[in-house]
Chain A
């Protein structure tokens, strides 16, 4: 169940990525529409983060290619923003919240230039969007996990990009914050930006995203919510994890959300 689109914002052709000879992504072939909130679903070790890293050029594929805005990554770097997993950095680093958000402006500043008043104002705006403007002077080592995550999202907003790729931005974030940030992401897509999010929670994912990529080493599905959230495709994605699947079908029944009938 793979829907291809006309003039895609991301086009992935026959992508294979391997670590130490063993492939972690097999022949992924998909295209994504712009202006959508896109979720990447799949079990642990399905290659979700690897897919994002391959799109961002952080891992080199053993086969296939990725095109963004119909161009190569180098040509459109400034139009793309990336939120890495929170655990990928050491939060003991001596920097304030504002310092980290300002890093989002570095790409456009160029060599030798320091961020000035304009950049600081932009960074404060971005902090306000994620509800962290009161913490601008705080050292990042003093933040909770959810606050760290919001700082990363603010840094990404400060990049002023057209395409956002976020790797598990909701890990360790409480429900209220999660909802608030999803509202923000929806607003961004309404403004024509495209947001791709790796998400681990199927329950909330069904409510939030317009388009889904389902991954389990192979690409299982890619398409709008109505066509791909089916029991069959979820079973294919999550494999033998029956316990989980029972819960999913329960959830679908509870919400009377049955896309097969719609």
Chain B
């Protein structure tokens, strides 16, 4: 039976916030041709999560987020160093970096397994369905609602604020890095800032959607939106729209098929992308097939 109860609302609301945060960052990752760096970061944060977990003793500690943030930045720097100094190709340096750090993370989980309640499954897949029962209870014993929802809200505010404040800098460094350095905008700092936000977002979302599906939310909605528009403002708006749409559809499809919500959200995103790509490629072949002038480019 389909219903729109409080649980459904909480889950869809949280999933939307997570996919909007990821999508906003993903737009700029895509424009920098760094979508796969997002993939690398989401895996490379694993050792940071484990160490943070070990230090704080719980997966809710600030140490976990700091640990993951540090590892995310480390991964970014390592990829950059391999590419620039060791002259390794970008795809190879991404592949080397994140597999190495991820492997270290797995070893750490096994070594510390008797001390921490954490396994690969939980980090990799996450489960947003448990959200309504994982509550934030204040010191006074008051029930504030789902804990992960607050994490997602805080994340969205910080990501939104970051993009809003540095919109000009993010845009110019994405388009023309050399030019931005010449006019005195520190491209390296902006880049590290963006990567830190990606690391933080990955960690903040991993309980809900897991480290693998976060990648999809970083890559797929912006890529889909870019099929539909060539304007940056609209690109961001469509990405947000897709983020909300896939959360909604994903939830109800998961409900219907009695399956993983996060998995369904990402599957829906993938299907929307494929459908858009198919539609666009058809449109283009029709356009060139039926008319020789390229007037339609100008609108």
Task: List residues of A whose CB falls within 8 A of some B CB.
Answer: 20, 53, 56-58, 77-78, 80, 82, 84, 88-90, 92-96, 99-100, 103-104, 106-107, 109, 111-115, 138-139, 141-142, 155, 159
Pick from A94, A114, A159: contact of B230, CB below 8 A. Answer: A94
Q: Is A107 a contact of B185 with CB atoms below 8 Å? A: yes
Task: List residues of B whose CB falls within 8 A of some A CB.
Answer: 31, 33, 87, 165, 167-169, 171-172, 174-176, 178-185, 226, 229-232, 235, 297-298
Instruction: Determine how close the nearest CB of chain B comes to the CB of A84; give it in whole angstroms.
Output: 5
Instruction: Determine how close the nearest CB of chain B comes to the CB of A259; give it in whole angstroms.
Output: 35
Contacts of B185 in A (CB 8 A): 106-107
A89 to B226, CA, bound (A): 18
Q: Is A84 a contact of B176 with CB atoms below 8 Å? A: yes
Q: Given A93-B175, A94-B232, A95-B232: A107 and B184 within 8 A (CB)? A: yes
Contacts of A90 in B (CB 8 A): 33, 175
* Closest B residue by C-beta to A108: B183
Q: Is A77 a contact of B175 with CB atoms below 8 Å? A: no
Q: Is B182 a contact of A112 with CB atoms below 8 Å? A: no
Q: Given A99-B232, A106-B183, A109-B168: A94 and B31 within 8 A (CB)? A: yes
Q: Given A94-B226, A142-B297: A56 and B171 within 8 A (CB)? A: no
Q: Given A94-B235, A103-B172: A82 and B229 within 8 A (CB)? A: no
Contacts of A109 in B (CB 8 A): 168
Q: Is B172 a contact of A82 with CB atoms below 8 Å? A: no
7 more CB-based (< 8 A) A-B contacts, given A58-B182, A84-B179, A89-B176: A94-B231, A94-B232, A106-B180, A113-B168, A114-B168, A138-B298, A139-B231
A104 to B175, CA, bound (A): 13
Q: Is A89 a contact of B175 with CB atoms below 8 Å? A: yes
Contacts of B168 in A (CB 8 A): 106, 109, 113-115
Instruction: Determine how close the nearest CB of chain B comes to the CB of A136; give it in whole angstroms.
Output: 14
Contacts of B167 in A (CB 8 A): 114
Contacts of B31 in A (CB 8 A): 93-94
Contacts of B174 in A (CB 8 A): 93
Contacts of B297 in A (CB 8 A): 142
Centre residue among B31, B184, B226 by max chain A CB count within 10 A: B184
